[in-house]
Homo-oligomer: A and B are copies of this chain.
Amino acid sequence: MELIEICKNSKKASKDLAKLNSCEKNEILKACANTLLDNTQEIIKANKIDVENAKKNNIKESLIDRLLLDEKRIQAMANGILQIANLEDPLDEYIEMKVLPNGLKVGKKRVAMGVIGIIYEARPNVTSDAFAMCFKASSSVILKGGKEAINSNKAIVDLFRKTIKNLGYNENIVMLIEDTNRETTTKFMKMNNYVDLLIPRGGAGLIKAVIENSTIPVIETGVGNCHIFIDEFANKDKAIDIVLNAKVQRPSVCNAMETLLVHTNIAKEILPEICEKLIENNVEIRGDSTVCEICKNPKMATEDDWKEEFLDYILAIKCVDSIEDAILHIQTYSTGHSEAIITENYTNYNKFVDEIDSAAVYVNASTRFTDGEQFGLGAEIGISTQKLHARGPMGIKEITSYKYIVLGNGQIRN
Contacts and interface: CB of A to CB of B under 8 A. Distances in A.
A51 interface: no
Interface centre among A212, A361, A369, A375 (most CB of B within 10 A): A369
A12 B360 CA distance: 21
Given A245-B412, A357-B114, A406 B362 contact: yes
A205 B83 CA distance: 45
A393 B108 CA distance: 12
Contacts of A355: 18-19
B410 A359 contact: no
A389 B388 contact: yes
A331 B403 CA distance: 15
Interface string A367-393: 011100011100000000011110111
Assign chain A's interface to a size class: 35 or more
A357 B358 CA distance: 33
A104 interface: yes
Q: How many copies does the complex hold?
A: 2
Nearest to A249: B413
Given A249-B413, A387-B114, A369 B406 contact: yes
A40 interface: no
Interface string A189-200: 000100011000
In order of increasing CB-CB distance, the 6 nearest A-B pairs are A365-B408, A245-B412, A387-B401, A238-B410, A368-B413, A389-B389
